[in-house]
Structures are given as structure tokens and as C-alpha cells.
Copies of this chain bind each other. A is one copy, B any other.
Amino acid sequence: MTRTANLQAVAERAGVSVSLVSRILSGDDAVRARPETRERVRAAARELGYRPHGAARALRLAKAGALGLVVHDMSNPIHAEIIRGAQAAATARGQVLLLSDAAQLAGNPDAFAQLVGPGRIDGLLWQGSGESYDDELTARAAEHLPTLLVNSRSRAGVPALRLDDERAARLAVRHLVDLGHRDIAYLGGRPGADLTERRHAGYVTELATHGIPVRGEWTVEREWDAPAGYAGMTELLSERPLPTAVFVANVVVAVGALAAAREAGVRVPEDLSVVAVHDAWFVAHGAPPLTTVRLPLGRLGETAVAMLLDGDESRAGGGLVIDTPAPELLVRGSTHTYEGAR
């Protein structure tokens, strides 16, 4: 664990000044040096195993070379997908990614201050969940740093990037309609969250397009997790008349919903068709394999990083929709033609 060589060590070995080494190694073409000198410097750097000191460079350049990424639940595969995209974009552009958890940050002011303080990160990506502290923390961060909300509409004046949730919802609902369903329920996420609202809007719009009235008792919103999906589906199954199909606003919720249907003895897809927004590897292997609408989550992460690095985040001032690639319907085993009254 020997102390790594710095510029001065390289300079001494090559018999030149520190400043010359810096310029040559950083590929500064404006500097005038003999080819043989350049080669000597490079050789010295190589021999000593020189690697630039991150903190020193960050200090001098007033650029951390890092981006912060805050998520509120890593075990959610949806978020993992966003992280992966952000990670790839950051690495490709020579930046590192600093990961943190929203709930932990909310409970630890010092950690938050450290993260958004000067000299740590050059920009912040926030994948919240609509918790009350999200707005406060992101607004505070935005005072000091380029900040971007991810998978959300713009809140508290902070720019945001999101997906075309309404279109995804319409695609899913239209699939059900195409199969002959007219009694279609909506199972959402946390009430009031804009994700569920936008997907509900798509659901309503698509039904209207086909002249199908919306029944209030077939709209249930609980939370973004599987237990909520279980409870929500249980509630839907207590309604009379029963719907013949359910549009679920999130694949995680759908996992719980499928379990509830199974326990209630309702067969999917024979008795009830189910389609959900977002795809995840494990629902493709479920019983039944779930029909889903895939959205470009990875692209969302990539784009967010790119905008932050390009200082372009104000373009998303009022919220910006990533709509390519377009939402894609993946038909699997949880949706089925409506066969008429049972």
C-alpha cells in the first residue's frame, strides 16, 4: 500500500518541471515540448505508475467529476433499471456515481449536507417516491446544484424527467379492449402520486376513446408495493359486478394482485385478464407469465445523466417526457380474449 507517485515525482524522474508534466499528460496540445521530452515524461509516468489524485483535481478544477444518485428503494427492480442506465452513462463519460438512499438521507441531515455540499458532486439525480421529504430535500439541493427529478413530474420548481406513462397506460388498456374486454378495472399505486395519476389518466382516456364508461368502484389505489397489490385486488374482487380485466399501474403491485386473485380462486387469465406497466425478469416466469408494457427505464437514467453533465437540465424545467423508444406491449400469459358472460 505504498504512497502513489504524484506529479512532482514524475517531474523529478523526467528532469522537468511539474507544470510541464501536467500539460503533457493531460494532452494539452498548446504546450511546446520536444517529442523526446514528451516521451521521457510519459515513460516516467508509466514507470512510476502515476495516477492523478481525484480530490486534488476536483479542488483545482472546481468539478467533482461525480454525480449523486438518490433512490428510495433499491430492491425495486424498476429503480435498478434506472440506476443501471445512469451508471452506464456516467461511466461512459468519465464520471463516477455516488449512490444514496432517500429515506436514510431524510433521517440524517449531516449525510445530506455532506452529499450536496461543495466538492462532492456536480449534479444530483433524485428518484423519489412522493414522500413529503422529497420535495424539501430536492428543493434544498437545487439551491446549490443542478438537480433533476427522475421518473416524476417537476415538483417544487425542480426540473424533472419522466416517461410517457399515459401512452403506456393507453397501450395496455387498448390491448384489453382489443381482446374484447369492456369491464376493465384500474389498480394504481399511492393515491395522489403523479405516476398513478398519469396512468389513470391514460386509462380513462383510452376507455373514453372506445366509448366505455368509467366506473368509480373499479378504481383502487393503495401503495406501490406487492402487499398493496394484494389488498387492492382483494377489494376489487369484492365488487359486483366483477370486472373481466384489470389494468395494474405497476408490475410490483401486480405481483401482489396476482397472488390475491389466485387465493380467491379467480383464474388468470381465464376469469380475469391482467396487464401491468413496466417489465421485470421475474414476472416473465410467473404463473401466469405477466403481460406488461415495457418503458425505457434505462434510457431515462442515461438521459438524466447526460442532461446534468451537459448543463442541460433547465430544458426539463417544466418536466420533460422521454418518449423514445416508445412503450412496448409484451403479451404473455395473463391476458386472454373475453369469451362473453360467465
Q: List residues of A whose CB falls within 8 A of some B CB.
A: 1, 4, 51-59, 64-66, 69, 74-75, 77, 80-81, 83-84, 87-88, 91-92, 94, 96-101, 104-105, 108, 110-111, 113-115, 117-120, 143-146, 226, 230, 252, 255-256, 258-259, 262, 280-282, 284-287, 289
B281 to A226, Cβ gap below 8 A? yes
Assembly of this chain: how many copies?
A: 2
Contact B230 A259 (CB under 8 A): no
| Known A118-B4, A120-B54, A281-B226: A99·B101 in contact at CB below 8 Å | no
CB neighbours (8 Å) of A119 from chain B are 53-58
Instruction: Give min CB distance, A137 to chain B, whole Å.
Output: 14
Q: Are A97 and B100 in contact (CB under 8 A)?
A: yes
* B81 in contact with A108 (CB, 8 Å): no
Q: Which of B81, B96, B144, B146 contacts A114 (CB 8 A)?
A: B96
Q: Can you sample 15 A-B contacts with CB below 8 Å?
A: A1-B145, A4-B117, A55-B59, A58-B58, A66-B98, A69-B99, A74-B83, A74-B84, A75-B81, A75-B280, A88-B101, A96-B120, A252-B282, A259-B287, A282-B282
Look across to chain B and name the residue whose beta carbon is closest to the beta carbon of A105: B91
Q: How far is the CA of A280 from the CA of B252 in the complex (A)?
A: 13
Label chain A's interface by main secondary structure: helix
| Contact A96–B100 (Cβ < 8 Å) | yes
- For the complex, give the distance between the alpha carbons of A98 and B69 in Å: 10
Contact of A80 among B74, B92, B105, B108 (CB under 8 A): B74
Report yes or no: A64 in contact with B55, Cβ–Cβ below 8 A: yes
Contact assessment for A91 and B101 in the assembled complex, using a CB-CB cutoff below 8 Å:
yes
Task: List residues of chain B with CB within 8 A of the CB of A259.
Answer: 285-287, 289
Which chain B residues border A145 with CB–CB below 8 Å? 1
**A144 B75 Cβ-Cβ under 8 A:** no
A88 and chain B: residue at smallest CB distance? B104
Q: How far is the CA of A17 from the CA of B340 in the complex (A)?
A: 84
Further 7 A-B residue pairs, CB within 8 A, beyond A91-B105, A96-B98: A53-B118, A53-B119, A58-B58, A74-B74, A74-B83, A75-B281, A94-B111
- Complex: how many Å from CA A259 to CA B64? 47
A91 to B256, alpha carbons, bound, how many Å?
Answer: 32
**Residues from chain B with Cβ under 8 Å of A96 in the complex:** 98, 100, 111, 114-115, 120
Taking A54-B64, A58-B55 as contacts, is the C-beta distance between A287 and B287 under 8 angstroms? Answer: yes
CA of A230 to CA of B101, assembled, Å: 34
Residue from A100, A117, A120, A262 having most chain B Cβ neighbours under 10 A: A120
Contact B77 A101 (CB under 8 A): no
Give Cα A183 to B115, complex, Å: 55
Chain B residues positioned under 8 Å from A99 (CB to CB): 69, 83, 87, 97-99
**Closest chain B residue, CB of each to CB of A56:** B59
Contact A144 B53 (CB under 8 A): no
